[in-house]
Structure 1
């Protein structure tokens, strides 16, 4: 592994290629399409529901939810491919690469999609909760947590705007998703709780779109400009 791979850079090391750009493009399309499908499912019902409730058993939007979630998961996995060489310098978070964390988050979201909650998505604090509700909710919560960790891993980005976006996004998703989750467990105001969940999910999607673009497209320009910079330095007068 190169030094650039060990020491976090805001762009993929020189082995970025047209394939990376293509993967990033497919990831972006998949993420946007998945978010659009889920958003349409919610709008079609005309009332406030948590994302999980869209895929609950007997819900008319269950099939649409499955399609949208799988598209989002595919986008997450592809973003992991794009950032495969990225490492963080944060002591507590450098044990796992951002790519590995994204793959973990995608896998957990896939579990949540494959095991929808029961009718009405009962709170885990009630007697109506079934085993599938526990599997679905725990997988979704862990997936959101993994996503927050990935964002914070990018806090050491050399591009300041990437670092700031990642820190702000990671903290925002953690706070917003946690607040929405607490409201859900307490069976509080569904309008507020579900809206917060969608906001947290939207922030995550926008962040992944930005990261995929930064790590695929600009890398080509950096790679080509490096020899020119080295040549100018070699011909510059000394002293």
Structure 2
């Protein structure tokens, strides 16, 4: 992307990136505290399930994380991948989709215990919640993999490794959940995947606004028209 942006835009991006970092870290801490309050392994969604004592606390943390995702999307709005088959989708759009889908999952919490969709106990709300969450993870992985062509080698490596790790780890945890397998392993994998995603977003937001990075291109991409035309502001 072009780093030749007006000073006001650079400052605004730094403020938004800082707010995103606060939301992501605060949300992760709140969810972590909710998890620590229980004496058994649970999937993330189960913390906010109907009737759970941690439901309200989880919703606060979840909404903070969602706000952080959307704010990171704002910071990365002028990035476009150079991958031919993904060029038509902005990483920011993928993050907005992830945030919107997580918002649906937050608005429709699963029933007590978040029963597997392969069982008779699954209700309509379980289908809505789980499908939205799975698609949100997929959109997040897409955003990460779009940085695989970053000119900054460590950004490319971090994004490629992170995207593949989140996809494979979340998928493994999901399969274990559907099969009603070991909850200890499945839930732990889900938390690991979520943590990787949060760390990646923090890193991308920081790289985008760091003054040192502003002196050279961080291109996954081709500048879009908004940043390639001189600003009048």
TM over 0.5: yes
1:58 paired residue number: 51
- Is 1:209 matched up with 2:202? yes
Mapped partners of 2:212, 2:99: distance in 1 = 25
Flag structure 1 segments of 5+ consecutive residues without an equivalent: 6-11, 224-239
Residue in structure 1 matching 2:191, options 194, 198, 201: 198
Query: Where has structure 1 moved over 3 Å in runs of 4 or more?
Result: 218-221
Shift of 1:221: 4.2
2:125 counterpart of 1:132: yes
In 1: Cα distance, 2:114 partner to 2:213 partner:
47
Could you report, residue by residue, the CA deviation over 1:110-146 in whole angstroms, capped at 9, with x for unpaired residues? 1001100011110000001000000000000000000
Conserved? CA contact 1:37–1:67, under 8 Å: yes
Kept in 2, the 8 Å contact 1:14–1:219? The answer is no
**Per-residue CA distance 1:41-68 (angstroms, 9 max, x = gap):** 0000121000000000000000011101
Deviation (angstroms), 1:158:
0.7
Query: Deviation string for 1:67-118 (max 9, x for gaps)?
Result: 0110000000000000000000101111110111100000000100110001
Give the direction of change, closer, same or farther, for the CA distance of 1:199–1:81 in structure 2 (3 Å limit): same
Distance 1:58 1:174, change over 3 A: same
Q: Confirm whether residue 85 of structure 1 aligns to residue 87 of structure 2.
A: no
Structure 2 counterparts to residues 138-217 of structure 1, below 5 A:
138-217=131-210
Mapping of residues 80-119 of structure 1, within 5 Å: 80-119=73-112
Whether the aligned pair in 2 keeps the contact of 1:13 and 1:219 (CA below 8 Å) is no
Q: Conserved in 1, the CA contact under 8 Å of 2:27 and 2:60?
A: yes
What residue ranges of structure 2 are gaps of 5+ in the alignment? 217-233
Q: CA deviation at 1:216?
A: 1.1
In 2, Cα distance between the equivalents of 1:48 and 1:118?
17
Please, what TM-score do these two structures have when normalized by structure 2? 0.89
Aligned residues: 214
Q: Deviations over 1:16-38 (max 9, x none)?
A: 41110010000000000000000
Using the TM superposition, give the Cα deviation of residue 153 of structure 1 relative to its aligned residue in structure 2, in angstroms.
0.2
Larger radius of gyration: 1
Taking the aligned partners of 2:21 and 2:212, their CA distance within structure 1 comes to 17
CA RMSD, 1 decimal: 1.3
The separation in 1 between residues aligned to 2:38 and 2:85, in whole angstroms, is 43
